[in-house]
């Protein structure tokens, strides 16, 4: 896994090189060389517009056992995942990782069914040694899927309504039950998710798309 080559980008999302996943997540390198890599976050909803969450496995190097959106990972420095047109490289990577992490077959999540809604740039230390510095593509998809979570990647999964997510956030804020949320998921929740979810339920999601802006969030 650590040998995978992530796509290095500048703050305008131009590809500037590639580096191992290991190096990309070392806070020392992030701080000293300002290493920034491309990432994606998938928000998968069922037909009732409930959002699928995952709890990251205990063996994750960054942010183990935190709850987060459906799938969060990186397009790799390979031809199929570098395609810029229609954000196809990121869509291909999302399809690949939904299978790797959650056992969702490719036919359940066709690449043309992902809706890229926006991009954000953020930095988040994890435990001192490890962290994230990502330019993150935020993707929605509505599909009924078959789930076979990979225990090496995922500790638990659940679908939540908007109200149930609000309750989960309140638990995390209060420190109840050891509930923690990933920093990137919390940024999306605080800045975009509820409005986009409302658009999804109204059938007006296209109105929410903004792939021109790169939101720099802390």
Active site residue 72: yes
DSSP category for residue 212? S
Catalytic residue (one of 24, 72, 81, 153) = 72
> How far from 55 is each of 116, 154, 174, 205, 217, CA to CA, in Å?
23, 6, 18, 26, 23
pLDDT of 2: 58
Distance CA 88, CA 100 (A): 18
pLDDT score, position 133? 92
SS (H, E, C) 45-84: ECCCCCEEEEEECCCCCCCCCCEECCEEECCECCHHHCCC
| pLDDT number for residue 95 | 98
Q: What is the DSSP secondary structure assignment for residue 198, as one 8-state letter?
A: H
- Structural domain count of the chain: 1
Tens digit of each residue's pLDDT, the chain (218 residues): 556 999 999 999 999 999 998 899 888 888 888 899 999 999 999 999 999 999 999 998 778 999 999 999 999 999 999 999 999 999 999 999 999 999 999 999 999 999 999 999 999 877 778 888 999 999 999 999 999 999 999 999 999 999 999 999 999 999 898 899 998 999 999 999 999 999 999 999 999 999 999 999 97
The reported pLDDT for the residue numbered 131 is: 84
The radius of gyration of the chain's CA atoms, rounded to the nearest angstrom, is: 16
Element (H, E) at 16: strand 15-20
Q: Which of these is catalytic: 81, 132, 134, 153?
A: 134
Q: In this predicted structure, what is the pLDDT of residue 26?
A: 87
- CA dist 196 and 80 (Å) reads 28
Distance CA(139)–CA(126), nearest Å, equals: 23
Note the pTM of the prediction, 2 decimals.
0.94
Range of the domain at 203: 5-216
Give me the CATH number covering residue 64.
3.90.79.10
Nearest of 100, 107, 30, 28 to residue 70 by alpha carbon? 100
Known catalytic residue: 71? no
3-state DSSP call for residue 105? coil
């Amino acid at each position: 896994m650590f040998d995978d080559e992530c796509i290095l980008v500048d703050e305008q999302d131009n590809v500037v090189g590639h580096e191992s996943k290991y190096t990309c997540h070392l806070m020392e390198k992030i701080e000293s060389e300002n290493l920034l890599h491309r990432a994606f976050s998938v928000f998968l909803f069922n037909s009732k517009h409930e959002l699928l969450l995952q709890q990251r496995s205990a063996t994750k190097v960054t942010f183990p056992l935190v709850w987060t959106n459906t799938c969060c990972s990186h397009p790799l420095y390979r031809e199929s995942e570098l395609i810029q047109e229609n954000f196809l490289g990121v869509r291909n990577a999302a399809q690949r990782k939904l299978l790797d992490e959650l056992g969702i077959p490719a036919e359940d999540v066709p690449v043309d069914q992902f809706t890229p809604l926006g991009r954000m740039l953020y930095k988040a230390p994890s435990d001192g040694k490890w962290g994230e510095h990502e330019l993150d593509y935020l993707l929605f998809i509505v599909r009924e899927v078959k789930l076979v979570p990979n225990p090496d990647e995922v500790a638990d999964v659940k679908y939540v309504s908007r109200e149930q997510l609000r309750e989960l956030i309140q638990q995390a804020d209060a420190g109840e039950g050891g509930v923690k949320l990933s920093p990137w998921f919390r940024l999306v929740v605080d800045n975009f998710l509820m409005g986009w979810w409302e658009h999804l339920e109204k059938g007006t999601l296209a109105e929410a798309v903004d792939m021109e802006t790169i939101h720099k969030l802390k």
